[in-house]
Structure 1
Amino acid sequence: MRFALSEDQKLLQDSVTRALEKLSPLERVRRFADEGQATAPDIWAGLTELGLPGLTIAEDHGGLGLGLLEAAIAAEALGRAVAPTPFLGSAVLAPLALTLAGSPEQQALWLPKLAAGEALAGVAISEPIAGARDGAGVQAASGRLSGKTLFAIDAVGADVLVVADRAGGLHLAQSAQAIAQMSSIDATRRLSELTFDGTPAEPLASNQALERLRDAAWILLAADTLGAAQAMLDKAVAYAKERRQFGRVVGSFQAVKHLCAEMAADLEPARALVWYAAYAFDHAPEEAPLMAAHAKAHLSEVGRFVARTSTEVHGGIGITDLLGLHYWFKRIGLNRQLLGGPERVRETAARLQGLVA
């Protein structure tokens, strides 16, 4: 039994990582954040050439037909580069919703466009998963949606929207009454508030699609945090090797060594957890909900520890905009809360195990 990535998966990892080094250097990320750009079409175009939009879409619809583990590998690379580009909603969750619950007509219309990068899809599923805030929630009746939904993913510039109602049903809408950008700590991604007022929408088949979307989202958010935390650890180690104090590099001091070792010790086993959760999603579906919850909750805690400790290793410069470490710090922070904080996710895990009523 193999407990490592295959050669093809390693090739995917290397290809995405190298592409992002060129497409999304820190200067490009900073420009996206400072100028308040809605999208980064140059980065998305480069990733489209790699086939990332169609990563999980079946070959019959023009995609690569790969699994969630490959999507997690890509998400880890995107988190490592804090890439300001759509992926979670448009390339994974929306295709998954269409594959699981879409009609043949809906699949034939949208999946080839999404696979080719010719269309973007937004996903709004926060309320039934993470709980409603500020009176948010969408009602569905007679093929129309009403209400508002918060924290929609990849909805800016989207050609189609996958929307969950309060009862957990999924719907396909080509527009919303209004799409307002929401403020968050993470300037590398755009979250939206969608408002519906009798907006026409096509229902997707009623099954357990929402739960599968939740599990996939939790795993990919954990993978994104894994990549961002690894980048922060690498930056801390590199800084400790070159920064000199009292005539010595600070990495030679025992206290700094311990900080770096603790980050590495916490982060390395988390990688196996994320990879197995992604593997289980496709190959051990009975385990997937619990593994997804464990991955999301655990990486939320490990990511926060690494983000804080890496900043401490850098000293005062760690909190400056000049260094840019805060982009990774804030990305980890948003991942922690998006679609449910660790406390709520652990409650779900407890229910799955029958530990609470």
Structure 2
Amino acid sequence: MDFSITADQRLMQESLARTLEAAAGLDRVRRFAADRDDAGADIWAALADFGLPGVVIPEEHGGLGLGLLDAALAAEALGRAVAPAPFLGAVAASIALTRGGTPEQQARWLPKIAAGDVVVGLALAEAVAGARDGMGVTAAGGRLSGGALFVTDAMSADLLVVADTAGGLHLVAGDAPGLRRAVVTSIDLTRRLGELAFEGVPAEPLAPGTLDAVRDAAWTLLAADTLGAAEVMIEKAVAYAKERRQFGRVIGSFQAVKHMCAEMAAELEPCRALVWYAAYAFDDAPAEAGLTAAHAKAHTSEVGRFIARTATEVHGGMGITDLLGLHYWFKRIGLNRQLLGGPERVRRVAAKMQGLAA
């Protein structure tokens, strides 16, 4: 029995990697990170031509009709490229609409998301990762009030998927009256985060119970993104160890450096199985989806931090310079770790799922 991905999935991942190399190389990532007004529209257009925004959208709405495993493989490629793209929001909104939207909502939004014509912001932090003082969104009479932090692609979003404090999900148009946005600067400049303020903002509710599925998908995609970023950091560390010389020898010949590289590879490989199975379970073993997504997010976050630190140590002083650009992957892993809940928070949710915590 073959427990690997299919030949078609490998081909898709390789083709996406080539697209990202052309559209979102490291020089392009540097320009994006340096310019707060750069929305990366050219990168998203190239990915839309590839069909990426509609990866999980049914074919009748203009998408590819694939599963979350395919989306996770794409997220892994995006993590490898540290590509600035609103992919997380596109997939999360597609799942929210497919599972909890009315036929009218689906017909109105899904074709636009699939075509890449709509950028989706994701405002789930308070419902999934816990609210900070004074934050959180309440819903009453078809309107939202309150505030949301760490909203992905908040400044450029044409559509927002917003979670309220009661666990409901809502669609909010980007130009809705009463909606205010502000930039939130994080360590990862390849992602645009923001803060939203809602003052009686009109919203369309989605079906109850949709939040858990969106959360599980988002956790899995963040884990996949970290998996891809960590892979690149290991590859760069090994390549550097093979060429950097000290005391007349390449540093890769020293046992301590060999152990560092081997330990990184050994720690990361089980994460691949965790992420792939979590993505598979989302569509094919739904009873396991929540727990496997939590395990993938929490464990990959911990391993990612270890690899980010160790790969930088292998590079020595060069590891923290902008010349190599290693810090882009380092910071991507750091934000993925905390976005929508750090490992401690996610493990607490997993414990509740298993009846091990109140």
Residue in structure 2 matched with residue 152 of structure 1 by the alignment: 151
Which residue type is aligned with residue 259 of structure 2? Answer: H
Structure 1 segments of 4+ aligned residues over 4 angstroms from their partners: none
Pairwise CA distance, 1:38: 4.1
* Kept in 2: contact 1:163–1:171 (CA 8 A): yes
**How many residues of Structure 1 are paired with residues of Structure 2 in the alignment?**
355
Pairwise CA distance, 1:275: 0.4
Is 1:344 aligned to 2:349, yes or no? no
- How far apart, in 1, do the equivalents of 2:217 and 2:294 lie? 10
Is 1:20 aligned to 2:15, yes or no? no
Residue in structure 2 matched with residue 267 of structure 1 by the alignment: 268
**SS where residue 82 of structure 1 aligns?**
coil
- How far apart, in 1, do the equivalents of 2:173 and 2:148 lie? 15
1:1-357 mapped onto 2 (5 Å cutoff)? 1-89=1-89, 91-175=90-174, 177-206=179-208, 208-357=209-358
Deviation string, structure 1 residues 150-198 (Cα, Å, up to 9, x no partner): 1111232222111111101111111352111101010000011111111
- How far apart, in 1, do the equivalents of 2:120 and 2:264 lie? 36
Structure 1, unmatched stretches of 5+, are none
Which residue type is aligned with residue 308 of structure 1? Answer: R
* Kept in 2: contact 1:219–1:278 (CA 8 A): yes
TM-score, normalization: structure 1?
A: 0.98
Pairwise CA distance, 1:274: 0.5
TM-score, normalization: structure 2?
A: 0.97
Which residue type is aligned with residue 225 of structure 2? Answer: D
**SS where residue 79 of structure 1 aligns?**
helix
* Kept in 2: contact 1:38–1:190 (CA 8 A): no
**SS where residue 286 of structure 2 aligns?**
coil
Deviation string, structure 1 residues 234-254 (Cα, Å, up to 9, x no partner): 000000011111111110111
Structure 2, unmatched stretches of 5+, are none
Which residue type is aligned with residue 158 of structure 2? Answer: D
- How far apart, in 2, do the equivalents of 1:10 and 1:225 lie? 18
- How far apart, in 2, do the equivalents of 1:189 and 1:45 lie? 17
* Kept in 2: contact 1:87–1:154 (CA 8 A): no
Which residue type is aligned with residue 179 of structure 1? Answer: R
Which residue type is aligned with residue 268 of structure 1? Answer: E
- What percent identity do the matched residue pairs reach? 70
RMSD: 0.9
Bigger Cα displacement from structure 2, 277-286 vs 158-167: 158-167
Bigger Cα displacement from structure 2, 30-39 vs 253-262: 30-39
- How far apart, in 1, do the equivalents of 2:162 and 2:38 lie? 21
